[in-house]
Structure formats: C-alpha cells, structure tokens
Amino acid sequence: MKNKHTKKFIEERKRLNEIVMKYASDRIKRFYSLDALVYNEGALPKKIKEILGLATSLVMRCDECIMHHTVQCYEHGVSTEEFEETLAIGLVVGGSITIPHIRTAFQAWDDLQGGQIPQG
C-alpha cells in the first residue's frame, strides 16, 4: 500500500469497532451480526455483495462505508474494470453529488493497488 490513508482507515475502523463492542448491548451486537451475515456467501457470491455494498454506499454518500466496501472489493478479487463500472453505476443513480465520494473510492483503490497504473 503506497499511501497510508487506507491502511490508517482499516486500523482505525478495527479499533473503533472494538470500543463499540466493549460497550454494546445485544441490540447493537445483533445489528452488527446481521450486517456481517448478509455479506456471507449465498445465492450471490461475496464479491457481488461487496460491489452492491459499494454502489449503495456511494449513492448514500457515506465515505466510511465507501472505504470499507472498497477494501472488501479489493480483498474479494474485484478487478479495476469492475470497480470502475460499479462507481459509474453509482454516479448515474446518485448524480454529480457523488463525485467527491468517487474521489475517495479511487484514492483508496489506488492505495490498495500500490499506486500502480492498471493494465488493460
């Protein structure tokens, strides 16, 4: 990872989730569990579920969610072309207001790619 921004995000998210779980009742823990369960392998593979999560997060304009799903897309083998098409769909659905969030997604993707120019 060339840029430390994405690495810092991953570490900070983990740290903050540990704090949440320290104080959380079953109400919060159940929601966290449901969130994790819907991304498990099922009729749709994890890769597709993460792409859906990314597109939805882009339309909702949640940078933290965009970062999370970008990392998950990378870890589940989403290609750069698939990643770009997902963001293009989010742009069409969400409109130009999503452009700053697309920048966030591509910065994280570039970090995960090590700053390498994509082939193809």
Domain ranges of the chain: 4-112
d(CA 26, CA 14): 19
Query: pTM score, two decimals?
Result: 0.89
State which CATH number among 1.10.300.10, 1.20.1290.10, 1.10.3720.10, 3.60.21.10 fits the domain covering 4-112: 1.20.1290.10
Q: Which pLDDT tens digit goes with each residue over 24-43?
A: 999 999 999 999 999 999 99
Q: What is the pLDDT along the chain (120 residues), one digit of tens a residue?
A: 556 889 999 999 999 999 999 999 999 999 999 999 999 999 999 999 999 999 999 999 999 999 999 999 999 999 999 999 999 999 999 999 999 999 999 999 999 998 766 554
Alpha carbon distances (Å) from 90 to 29, 33, 83: 29, 26, 11
d(CA 100, CA 78): 22
Alpha carbon distances (Å) from 117 to 49, 77, 107, 109: 26, 17, 13, 11
